[in-house]
Structure 1
Amino acid sequence: MAAASSSAPRFRFFFSKSEAVLVAITMIWGATFLTVQNVLAVSGPLFFVGLRFGTAALVMGCLAAPVLRGLTWAEAKAGILIGISIFFGYTLQTYGLQTIPSSKSAFITALYVPIVPLLQWLVLRRPPGVMSWLGIAFAFAGLVLLAGPDGTSIGLGRGELLTLISAVAIASEIILIGGYAGRVDVRRVTVVQLATASILAFAGMAPLGEGIPDMSWLLILSAIGLGVASAGIQLAMNWAQKTVSPTRATVIYAGEPVWAGIVGRIAGERLPAAALIGAVLIIVGVIVSELKPPRWAKERRSVEA
């Protein structure tokens, strides 16, 4: 997508081909939360993350086999860095799903969107704008309501805290993908990042005392299904963000927790009323953080100057 001119509207009510792909993977992404939570009944978090992304790496490796020999050091470095972010993001999120509902996990994970400008401020010295700060405020208020034990009081339990940290890792992944998009072969980088996440997960099992679980059809089918989905999601993100700006992409990704909430509700999850309000505030914060200040405010400042 070419850069918009200064007179063009900020948002459009139609999607390009790349954006439509991101919408589709967001729906799939949202549906994975409940699947992961269910499979944790038969597997430890690290083993499942390793198996999931190992499967994804094998699938992607077969698809990218004709071009893998051309892997460069720059692409390997990009894949490793993105893979480290994926490992921390999905592993911590999976640990969190042991103690909190899948719908709550999805909404807390969505905080990665307003976290992106904060990370850019800390790492790239780019301070957030007014709308980013406003979005952060909405998102924080939503987190307070959503994370309360009964949806009515402030409280970050272990599951909520781990999921919140995972959102920081996912924000790092988004920034890295946006930074490398267009400069690398997405197929080769996707293989490296998926393999990196899998290797790190399996390597962490012994130090953290996690054993190999008994095999079950739930574990095998979930690993294969989510592995294929993960390969498709990562490849699609890398491909689509060549032409879709990080801002536009993150607004599309904001729909992820909504789909997760719908799936969770169908499965019988019921968040308290205050927690639902918190979830709405998080989505508002996600969208507001990506808006620009109203044009009239800019024009007024330029006139006063």
Structure 2
Amino acid sequence: MKKQVSLATNSQTPTSSVINLPELALIAITFIWGGTFLVVHNAVTASGPLAFVAARFAIAAAICSLICRGQLLKLTKAEFVAGVAIGVAIFGGYTLQTYGLMFISSSKSAFITAFYVPIVPLVQWLVFKQRPHPAVWVAVVVAFVGLVLLTGTDGLTMGLGKGELITAVGAIAIALEIILVSRVAASLNILRVTIVQLATASLTALLLMPVLGEAPPPLSKTFVFSVIALGCASALIQYVMNWAQKRISATKATLIYAGEPVWAGVIGRLAGERLPAMAIVGGILIIAAGILSEWRPKKASSASSDTEAELTQ
């Protein structure tokens, strides 16, 4: 039987349950990612979605360009194409999610956005013919149930209104971003691809503003603070995503990203929001799903190895 090839460059199967550096890095940026949700929710009161996305990613691209001066002079065609493709996916995910928040509650948005959890392995299987291990499918289900519990009963009221549809399409864009990053990170320069993708997301939003009739926002304190804070966060998040997904699979990365609502709930609690008991249960399920995704029975693994050895003789 043909052995499944991982999207990550590190093709060795983990033999230890200890969390490695790429996983810790993704957990850290997922915490930051979850913390930005409140900032975005407040920012849309002072700016249109396109202007906010354009300013946010322009700052992120500028930060990366200043830190990595001279990198773009070595930009290759493959890196440019990959960066543009990922940038368009980033633009779609962040812009549509921001638009959706203008029509639906944050809990419903979190639940619908969570569709990217099962979408990633599904797309990998259907498009790239990379069938996941059965444990991954179970972990995806567990993570999804955890997300349902985490978002509460309001998240279960899923009408097909404008906000719901926009957010669902945004979730697909997020899934595509994760898959694209995993497929190109192994062979391309991470710094240059990151700069191009951030600039692409910003430029796409800026160019669409006059097309969709969105006026530039006033330079209020809320807008300026929000775009600077989230610009810095976006630069860090996108670079760490590219770096870490060069070393672990897209499915495993997706399950770590599923912890975003957990961190958002914790930060919300610190800000004065009450975290229901069922939300805590949901958070535990999401953490359990991450562990389950890497679980492999020793006997089954040994039997599989023996069978492969016999076939090669």
Give your verdict on TM over 0.5: yes
Higher mean displacement: 85-94 or 205-214:
205-214
Higher mean displacement: 261-270 or 147-156:
147-156
Q: How far did 1:47 drift?
A: 0.8
2:89 corresponds in structure 1 to 85
List alignment gaps of at least 5 residues for structure 2.
Answer: 1-8, 308-313
2:185 corresponds in structure 1 to 181
Higher mean displacement: 143-152 or 258-267:
143-152
Alignment partner of 1:246 is 2:250: yes
Q: Secondary structure at the match of 2:70?
A: helix
Find the partner of 1:159 among 163, 178, 182: 163
Q: Secondary structure at the match of 2:211?
A: coil
Taking the aligned partners of 1:31 and 1:181, their CA distance within structure 2 comes to 26
Q: How does 1:67-82 map to 2 (within 5 A)?
A: 67-82=71-86
CA contact (8 A) 1:101 1:269 kept: no
Q: How far did 1:214 drift?
A: 1.5
Q: How far did 1:92 drift?
A: 0.9
Higher mean displacement: 253-262 or 278-287:
278-287
For the structure 1 residues 153 and 79, does the alpha-carbon distance in structure 2 shift closer, same or farther, using more than 3 Å as the test?
A: closer
2:195 corresponds in structure 1 to 191
- Deviations along 1:136-166, one digit per CA (max 9) or x if unpaired, are 5445656777788745655454434333322
Higher mean displacement: 256-265 or 191-200:
256-265
Taking the aligned partners of 2:111 and 2:39, their CA distance within structure 1 comes to 16
1:14 corresponds in structure 2 to 19
Taking the aligned partners of 1:251 and 1:149, their CA distance within structure 2 comes to 22
Taking the aligned partners of 1:106 and 1:279, their CA distance within structure 2 comes to 13
CA contact (8 A) 2:100 2:166 kept: yes
Q: How does 1:28-177 map to 2 (within 5 A)?
A: 28-138=32-142, 150=154, 153-177=157-181
Higher mean displacement: 205-214 or 259-268:
259-268
Taking the aligned partners of 1:279 and 1:91, their CA distance within structure 2 comes to 27
Give the partner amino acid of 1:187: L
Taking the aligned partners of 2:293 and 2:193, their CA distance within structure 1 comes to 27
Give the partner amino acid of 1:290: S
CA contact (8 A) 2:121 2:251 kept: no
List alignment gaps of at least 5 residues for structure 1.
Answer: none
Q: How far did 1:107 drift?
A: 4.8
Q: Secondary structure at the match of 1:214?
A: coil
Find the partner of 2:293 among 267, 285, 290: 290
Q: How far did 1:125 drift?
A: 2.8
Q: How far did 1:131 drift?
A: 3.3
Taking the aligned partners of 1:143 and 1:157, their CA distance within structure 2 comes to 21
Give the partner amino acid of 1:113: V
Higher mean displacement: 45-54 or 131-140:
131-140
CA contact (8 A) 1:42 1:219 kept: yes
- Deviations along 1:107-136, one digit per CA (max 9) or x if unpaired, are 543432321111112321334443344345
Give the partner amino acid of 1:217: K
For the structure 1 residues 255 and 146, does the alpha-carbon distance in structure 2 shift closer, same or farther, using more than 3 Å as the test?
A: closer
Q: How far did 1:189 drift?
A: 0.8
For the structure 1 residues 279 and 251, does the alpha-carbon distance in structure 2 shift closer, same or farther, using more than 3 Å as the test?
A: same
Q: Secondary structure at the match of 1:19?
A: helix
- Deviations along 1:201-253, one digit per CA (max 9) or x if unpaired, are 11222222222121101101110111111111111221222333334433332
Taking the aligned partners of 2:83 and 2:301, their CA distance within structure 1 comes to 40
For the structure 1 residues 207 and 285, does the alpha-carbon distance in structure 2 shift closer, same or farther, using more than 3 Å as the test?
A: farther
Give the partner amino acid of 1:73: K
How high is the sequence identity, in percent, across the aligned residues?
Answer: 51
Higher mean displacement: 249-258 or 96-105:
96-105
CA contact (8 A) 1:31 1:260 kept: yes
CA contact (8 A) 1:135 1:284 kept: no
Give the partner amino acid of 1:74: A
Q: How far did 1:271 drift?
A: 7.4
CA contact (8 A) 1:83 1:192 kept: yes
Alignment partner of 1:259 is 2:263: yes
For the structure 1 residues 300 and 191, does the alpha-carbon distance in structure 2 shift closer, same or farther, using more than 3 Å as the test?
A: closer
Find the partner of 1:27 among 31, 34, 49: 31
Q: Secondary structure at the match of 2:47?
A: coil
